[in-house]
């Protein structure tokens, strides 16, 4: 396994976290309402979900033989459909429909539940790994997977710190509040793009 492959894994994982989506929106809302500390708690709670779904994405790419291929085909189609649903919903968002309510739970618990119950990370990670790693995937095997996942975790954590920093910036908070509708719609287009990618991959399994 080359250093280039590991660094690419770190980059792909960071992009997964930074990519606008329900979790980023929730973190921005929570940070704007309760401050950077609450936003940080949510983000690190959500990290558990990122790890679980990204591990499944990696298995789908390099270890399909460990589980029946139909498992990954169904998982991909279900998650791709969910992502397409989120994308269409975001494209049709209106001001009055925007979710502003925050959970009354502890931010870390909220983030943990949110991350584990939101499979967005699976199709996004699968699409990004396939696009960024490309032919390098042949260098991956079951033995090298733990090291690969360690560098993925590094990407998650680095991106989490970037998000925590951004949440505390007044300019970011104001921009998000002023342009929330257009950010939501742009996110919808991005989700539809990822949904298309996951459908192609799942049907090819």
Judge whether residue 96 has pLDDT over 50.
no
For the entire predicted model, the pTM comes to 0.67
Average pLDDT over residues 71-93: 79
Mean pLDDT over 104-127 rounds to 73
Structure confidence at residue 118 (pLDDT): 65
Q: What is the structure's pLDDT at 103?
A: 42
Instruction: Give the pLDDT confidence of 17-40 residue by residue, as tens digits.
Output: 887 777 787 787 777 767 788 889
> Does the pLDDT of residue 12 top 70, yes or no?
yes
Does residue 47 contact residue 115 with C-beta atoms inside 8 Å? Answer: yes
43-59, pLDDT tens digit by residue? 999 898 888 888 887 77
CA separation for the pair 117, 53 (Å, rounded): 10
The 10s digit of each residue's pLDDT in 171-203 is: 777 777 787 778 778 777 877 887 887 788 778
Q: Is residue 97 predicted with pLDDT exceeding 60?
A: no
* Most confident range, picked from 4-8, 70-74, 98-102, 115-119: 4-8
């Amino acid at each position: 396994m080359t250093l280039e492959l590991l660094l690419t894994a770190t980059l792909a994982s960071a992009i997964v976290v930074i990519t606008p989506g329900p979790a980023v929106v929730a973190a921005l809302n929570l940070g704007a309402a309760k401050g950077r500390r609450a936003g940080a708690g949510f983000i690190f709670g959500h990290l558990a979900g990122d790890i679980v779904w990204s591990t499944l994405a990696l298995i789908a790419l390099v270890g399909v033989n460990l589980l029946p291929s139909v498992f990954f085909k169904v998982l991909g189609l279900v998650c791709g459909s969910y992502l397409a649903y989120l994308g269409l919903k975001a494209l049709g968002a209106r001001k009055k429909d925007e979710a502003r309510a925050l959970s009354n739970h502890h931010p870390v618990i909220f983030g943990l539940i949110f991350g584990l119950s939101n499979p967005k990370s699976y199709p996004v990670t699968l699409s990004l790994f396939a696009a960024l790693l490309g032919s390098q995937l042949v260098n991956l095997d079951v033995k090298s997977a733990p090291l690969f996942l360690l560098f993925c975790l590094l990407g998650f954590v680095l991106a989490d710190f970037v998000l925590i920093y951004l949440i505390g910036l007044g300019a970011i908070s104001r921009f998000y509040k002023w342009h929330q509708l257009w950010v939501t719609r742009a996110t919808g287009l991005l989700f539809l793009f990822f949904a298309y990618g996951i459908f192609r991959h799942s049907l090819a399994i």
